Amino acid sequence: MSVLDPLIHALAAVMAAAHSALTAIGADPASSLSWVITIAAVVFAVRIALLPATIHSVRTAHATARARPDLQRLAERYSDRKDPQSRRDYLQERRRISAQHRIPRFSVLPMLLQVPVWLALYHLISDGASGHPVGELSAGLVASLGGATLLGVRLTARGYFGAGPAHLAVVAGLSVLAAALSFVTQKYLVTPTMITADQLPMMVQAQQLMPLLSSAGLLFAGGVAPLALLCYWVINSTWTLGQSAVIWRWFPTPGSPAAQRRSRVSP
């Protein structure tokens, strides 16, 4: 039994309920459209549930940015003082500044809480596409998923090369779309909201490479993942792009390139 099982079973119940709701209003239970909408419903449910964590992360980034000048001055004041008492005074003053700007002590915790949710959703869709029933996602639903085709390609099909050119076109098309969405989001919406002025050059270079690395990873995964999972990645990446665009446009981190751009264009 995995520690992710409770989450996987909860998501399976959401997936089964979404599919049942579509069937109840007259949708074909075995059609690819029904299953793609079902996957989208699960993605939307997860992303909506994680909105509080996203809002917390944005607020933490803003608080940290506002505290940055005070923290930099503090670090400069204590840069040549290495004795134990000075170290204690430095930490106490740093805690005071963090409290003044309302920086949470465990600021990364909400982000870490999202990881098991993403892993659980990945395993659920991957297992379902592989023909393994999971909780409320019964054998009948799994068989229905296995029989659904998207533009002639089964949602359970894996890899770029299968039943001819149509298979390659569909899989490659979804993989490229997911990779492009990821690249645009990271390059033009996420990176501009980050402050890199006081970071090590190695960290800055890693952030600059992240859009390419994430896109390359999706292109590689497209060669081994089931088509249903590619649909999930496209839908999830679309949500991420929209969410990141909202943050970039209206809630950029103070001092970031996006915030500077917003101040220039504001009347």
143 lies in the same domain as 50: yes
Burial environment of residue 151 by CB neighbours within 10 A (0 to 12, 13 to 18, 19 or more)? exposed
7 lies in the same domain as 125: yes
What domain count does the chain have?
2
Give the pLDDT of residue 267: 56
137 three-state secondary structure = strand
Give the pLDDT of residue 109: 59
196 lies in the same domain as 257: yes
Give the pLDDT of residue 107: 58
Give the pLDDT of residue 159: 85
Give the pLDDT of residue 183: 95
248 lies in the same domain as 177: yes
What phi and psi values does residue 134 have, to the nearest 5 degrees?
Answer: -135, 110
162 lies in the same domain as 254: yes
65 lies in the same domain as 109: yes
118 lies in the same domain as 196: no
Q: Which residues contact 9 (CB under 8 A, 6 or more apart)?
A: 134, 135, 136
- Residue ending a domain, among 147, 175, 199, is 147
Which helix (H) or strand (E) element contains residue 69? helix 51-77
Give the pLDDT of residue 16: 95
Burial environment of residue 121 by CB neighbours within 10 A (0 to 12, 13 to 18, 19 or more)? buried
105 lies in the same domain as 121: yes
Residue 233 CA to residue 177 CA, distance in Å, equals 9
What is the residue-level pLDDT of the chain in tens, covering all 267 positions? 678 899 999 999 999 999 999 999 999 999 999 999 999 999 999 899 888 888 888 998 899 899 988 988 988 888 888 888 888 988 899 999 989 988 877 656 556 777 888 788 888 888 888 888 998 999 999 999 988 999 889 898 888 887 788 899 999 999 999 999 999 999 999 999 988 766 667 777 878 888 999 899 999 988 888 999 999 999 999 999 999 999 999 999 998 988 988 777 655
Contact by Cβ (8 Å): 251, 58: yes
Domain hosting 98: range is: 1-147
Contact by Cβ (8 Å): 185, 193: no
52 lies in the same domain as 130: yes
Cα separation values, 62 from 34, 144, 166, Å: 41, 47, 47
136 lies in the same domain as 172: no
What phi and psi values does residue 12 have, to the nearest 5 degrees?
Answer: -60, -40
130 lies in the same domain as 3: yes
